[in-house]
Structure 1
Amino acid sequence: MEAENLQTVRFAPGGRNSFQDTLIERTNAYFKVNHISPYANTKMWIKTTVMLSLYFVPYLFMVTGFGANNGWLFFGFWFLMALGMIGIGTSVMHDANHGTYSPNRKVNRFIGAILEVIGGYSVTWKIQHNQLHHTYTNIAGLDDDLDSIKYLRFSPRQPYYWFHKYQYLYAWFFYSMMTLFWMTAKDYLQIVRYKEYNLLVNHKVSMGQAIFRVTLYKIFYYGYIMVLPILFSGMPWYAVVCGFLLMHMVAGLVLSCIFQPSHIVETSTFELPVESEIGSREMEDSWAIHEVENTTDFAPGKGFLTWFIGGLNYQIEHHLFTGICHVHYPNLAPIVKKTAGEFGVIYHVEPTFWKALRGHVKMLKKLGRK
């Protein structure tokens, strides 16, 4: 992000009977007619239990020395923990930190705190994801998801370097390092940057408090995730380190492959705000239309995939309705698609995950050209 880009950006007004107003009206009617809550249901609570178990049960087996003489079983535990970490990241902590488990904020905060248990920090995550990504999707200089290392170019609005022509080949390595970087340095770097841009204020935390809390969380995390297995798993320290890296590389790669095909694709517009006559920075479209035009759904109707990745294959619905639990997205998608068609808004969707991923690779190649 650039400091001058953090001024308020205005989206075009939706107007009476707008696309967004119509969507809200029809979505509210769906929940009212069917007598259901937009928050978590029984299926969501069952899934939460499964995802937490997928992470913590293999860990408990490992630190109690179960399978200490079996390397395949030992590394299998780490692999299962990676799957649990993915599930927690896409479903449990993600929904909780969006406030969709319950209308009770304390419930959402309690469940969202699982992010600290798996090595992250809720404050920086909410700023990057809820505040910047969901408000300014694909706007270079404002969407923090675009502002990665300079070796990755995710927008045609970003600087070009000669090595970007190879990014479609080497991006996967950096993707696999995503959560490892997050659990070590990213939170600290974000705290300093968000303090500079005055983004910590809304979370009622100072930079000193944030750094102190993150440090405590990291000590706790590395204490149980590495020190205890080294002491009690019965495996040598280097096997524990390798298992830890395996977990993060699998989780980072899979999470990246879930998120990137929804935004970094050829159909996204990557529009920038323009300076108005009164000096404000304005977008041509309304916020809802901007979100749909910069987001792509994939693999609709694929039950297990939808279940495992927290409905994030319905990314359009997630961006439009961040306050609704993801278990409702499959039923909301036809409403959104129909309404988009009526208002002349292009609804992007890929039929399979692999086709969506190929679309992302094509975009990486395209962005690798000057």
Structure 2
Amino acid sequence: MPSTLHAAPPPVTRAAGSDFAPLARRVRESGLLDRRRGYYVRAVGLNLAATAAVWGAVAWAAPSWWAVLLGVPLAVLAARTGFLGHDAGHRQIAGSARGNRWLGLLLGNLLLGMGHGWWSDKHNRHHANPNHVGKDPDVGEGILAWTQDQAGRQRGPLRWVARHQALLFFPLLTLEGLNLKVGSLLFLRGRSRRDQVVEGGLLVAHAVGYLALAFTLLPVPQALVLIAVQHALFGVHLGAVFAPNHKGMAMPEPGVRWDHLRRQVLTSRNVRGGLFTDWFMGGLNYQIEHHLFPSMPRCNLRAVRPLVREHCAAVGVPYAETGLVASYRQALGHMREVGEPLR
């Protein structure tokens, strides 16, 4: 795989500032930015019904150890809930900011135990400056390193992790479900009293309800394993969806300024596929289209793809798209390349 650590697409010219406008106008006229309330009513209703049915199956299978296998569909359904909460955060569902916020609180805080306010703050900063070190929290310093400079600053056990991070990536994702909940709670420390009461109260309600359900339906050992299975696979599922979208794509150097079209397209990668890939990734495999039009209903992203591809070709902007396996190979290859100097 060619090095992506110092990818340097062509600089923006004076005329490039208007490159996005014709595409935006064409997409608005297509109606693909319109709300899809019927779709979301069905999606939320089916997801709630399926989740209730799986918990009913847990009650039926209890106290057998076979019940812990139902943590697998619970993890998949939790990811579907996460996708819907994501859409509420982008104001794709309801017609008002208030309506979307409350949908996000109910889907995220109450049903998932993941803070809507925390996620929205983090995710909106990512969308504003994708893959931009110092601005995008998704490539900030942490357990994993996204640039060789970050890897070189790691110390102690984290230096060993950076050295082997490509191999450790998916195992570490088993902790992401727990990390999302911890991050949501820590975020509330600096928030207003109202946010602490509303968001914190819903997070507590989720924790109490979830634990009560698990330990009421199952003996303690089986309940603990079910919780561990669901949270581990939930983290892996989300990581498997979001990792191919930007890892290994262009990372703007400090001081570099790209127009909206290039800032979003050059840093994003689409994952090509059919019905299974679209379902598995929730339609977010059309990441270029999602970044260009974040308020577009997720179910419309596939339909707008031909317009975006055609426009990028017309203005000479590279449009990255690959298969699912190749996308993981490229993302992990980038992580391996980042840690290479430490080996």
Give TM-score scaled by structure 2 length: 0.86
Structure 1 pair 236–316 and aligned structure 2 pair: CA distance change class (3 A): same
> What is the match of residue 84 of structure 1?
77
Secondary structure of the corresponding residue to residue 145 of structure 1: helix
Distance 1:304 1:46 in 2: 19
Unaligned runs of 5+ in 1: 1-10, 196-204, 275-282
Structure 1 pair 53–272 and aligned structure 2 pair: CA distance change class (3 A): farther
Secondary structure of the corresponding residue to residue 303 of structure 2: helix
| 1:60-96 CA distance string (max 9 Å, x none) | 443xx32213321x12332211110111112x11111
Aligned residues: 323
> What is the match of residue 309 of structure 1?
281
1:343 aligns with 2:315: yes
Q: Which amino acid aligns with 1:296?
A: R
Among 174, 177, 192, which residue is 1:176 paired with? 174
Secondary structure of the corresponding residue to residue 298 of structure 1: strand
For the 8 Å contact 1:13–1:286, the answer to whether it is kept is no
Unaligned runs of 5+ in 2: 1-10
Secondary structure of the corresponding residue to residue 102 of structure 1: coil
| 1:299-355 CA distance string (max 9 Å, x none) | 24x1232134321000000011011101111111111111111111110000x2111
> What is the match of residue 290 of structure 2?
318
How far did 1:26 drift? Answer: 1.5
> What is the match of residue 5 of structure 1?
none
1:187 aligns with 2:184: yes
> What is the match of residue 112 of structure 1?
104
Distance 2:37 2:213 in 1: 36
Please identify, of 357-366 and 15-24, the stretch whose mean Cα deviation from structure 2 is larger.
Answer: 15-24
> What is the match of residue 149 of structure 1?
142
> What is the match of residue 250 of structure 2?
269
Q: Which amino acid aligns with 1:52?
A: L
Distance 2:280 2:99 in 1: 22
Distance 1:145 1:30 in 2: 32
> What is the match of residue 27 of structure 1?
27
For the 8 Å contact 1:55–1:83, the answer to whether it is kept is no
> What is the match of residue 48 of structure 1?
44
> What is the match of residue 253 of structure 1?
236
Q: Which amino acid aligns with 1:68?
A: A
For the 8 Å contact 2:268–2:288, the answer to whether it is kept is yes
For the 8 Å contact 1:318–1:326, the answer to whether it is kept is yes
For the 8 Å contact 2:118–2:183, the answer to whether it is kept is no
Secondary structure of the corresponding residue to residue 181 of structure 1: helix
For the 8 Å contact 1:120–1:187, the answer to whether it is kept is yes
> What is the match of residue 200 of structure 1?
none
> What is the match of residue 301 of structure 2?
329
Identity across aligned pairs (percent)? 20
Distance 1:55 1:216 in 2: 22
Structure 1 pair 14–104 and aligned structure 2 pair: CA distance change class (3 A): farther
Structure 1 pair 286–16 and aligned structure 2 pair: CA distance change class (3 A): closer
How far did 1:212 drift? Answer: 4.2
Structure 1 pair 367–333 and aligned structure 2 pair: CA distance change class (3 A): same
1:296 aligns with 2:290: no
For the 8 Å contact 2:289–2:301, the answer to whether it is kept is yes
Give TM-score scaled by structure 1 length: 0.80
> What is the match of residue 6 of structure 2?
none
- Say what the alpha-carbon RMSD is for the aligned residues: 2.3
For the 8 Å contact 1:137–1:291, the answer to whether it is kept is yes
1:369 aligns with 2:332: no
How far did 1:227 drift? Answer: 2.5
For the 8 Å contact 2:89–2:116, the answer to whether it is kept is yes
How far did 1:244 drift? Answer: 0.6
Q: Which amino acid aligns with 2:264?
A: E
